[in-house]
Structure 1
Amino acid sequence: MDHPDHRAHPRGGLTTILIVDDDLFVRTVLADLLTGTGRIRVLSTHADGAEAAAAAAAEPPDVALVDISMPLMDGPATVRALRESSPATRILALTSLADPAAAAEMLRAGAAGFLPKDLPVPGLVHAIEAARYGVSVLAGAGAALTADPPQQRAPAVELNDAENSILELLLAGRTNDQIARTIYLSPSSVKHQVSALMAKLGATNRVTLAIRARELGLG
Structure 2
Amino acid sequence: MTRVILVDDDPLVRTMLTNCLNAAPGLVVRGSYGSGTDAVAAVPADQPHVALVDIVMPDPDGPETTRLLRAASPRTQVLALTSLADPQAAAAMLNAGALGFLPKDLAPEAIVHAVQSARHGLAVLGGAGAGLVDRRPSTDLAELLSPTERKILLLIREGRTTEQIAREVYLSPSTVKYHVTALMEKLGATNRVTLAIRALELGLC
TM-score of the pair, normalised by structure 2: 0.64
Distance 1:72 1:61 in 2: 22
**Counterpart in 2 of 1:128?**
115
**Counterpart in 1 of 2:15?**
28
- Select which of 111, 114, 117 maps to 2:98: 111
Q: Tell me, yes or no, if the aligned pair for 2:85 and 2:131 is still in contact at 8 Å.
A: no
Counting aligned pairs with the same residue, the percent is 53
Q: Which runs of 4+ in 1 moved over 4 A?
A: none
Distance 1:146 1:74 in 2: 20
**Structure 2: where are the runs of 5+ without partners?**
137-205
Q: Tell me, yes or no, if the aligned pair for 2:5 and 2:32 is still in contact at 8 Å.
A: yes
Q: Does 1:18 align with 2:9?
A: no
- Select which of 21, 24, 28 maps to 1:37: 24
Equivalent position SS for 1:87: coil
Please list, as runs of the form range in 1=range in 2, the aligned pairs for 1:158-197 lying within 5 A after superposition.
Answer: none
Q: Does 1:137 align with 2:124?
A: yes
**Counterpart in 1 of 2:180?**
none
1:93-141, Cα deviation, whole Å (9 max, x unpaired)? 0011131000000000000000011110000011100000010110110
Match for 2:61: what amino acid?
D
Q: Which structure is higher in helix share?
A: 2
Cα distance change on mapping 1:33 and 1:146 into 2, 3 Å: same
1:9-54, Cα deviation, whole Å (9 max, x unpaired)? xxxxx21100000001111111011111233100010011011011
Distance 1:39 1:119 in 2: 19
**Structure 1: where are the runs of 5+ without partners?**
1-13, 150-219
Match for 2:98: what amino acid?
A
**Counterpart in 2 of 1:52?**
39
Distance 1:37 1:90 in 2: 19
> Shift in Å at residue 147 of structure 1?
2.0
1:165-185, Cα deviation, whole Å (9 max, x unpaired)? xxxxxxxxxxxxxxxxxxxxx
Q: Tell me, yes or no, if the aligned pair for 2:4 and 2:28 is still in contact at 8 Å.
A: yes
Q: Does 1:70 align with 2:57?
A: yes
Equivalent position SS for 2:30: strand
- Select which of 52, 55, 71 maps to 1:84: 71
Match for 1:26: what amino acid?
V
**Counterpart in 2 of 1:168?**
none
Equivalent position SS for 2:37: helix
Distance 2:107 2:34 in 1: 23
Q: What is the total number of aligned residue pairs between the two structures? A: 136
Distance 1:74 1:91 in 2: 14
1:69-100, Cα deviation, whole Å (9 max, x unpaired)? 00131000000010111110000000111310
* Root-mean-square deviation over aligned CA pairs: 1.3
Equivalent position SS for 1:92: strand
Farther-moved stretch of structure 1 (23-32 vs 101-110) = 23-32
**Counterpart in 2 of 1:61?**
48
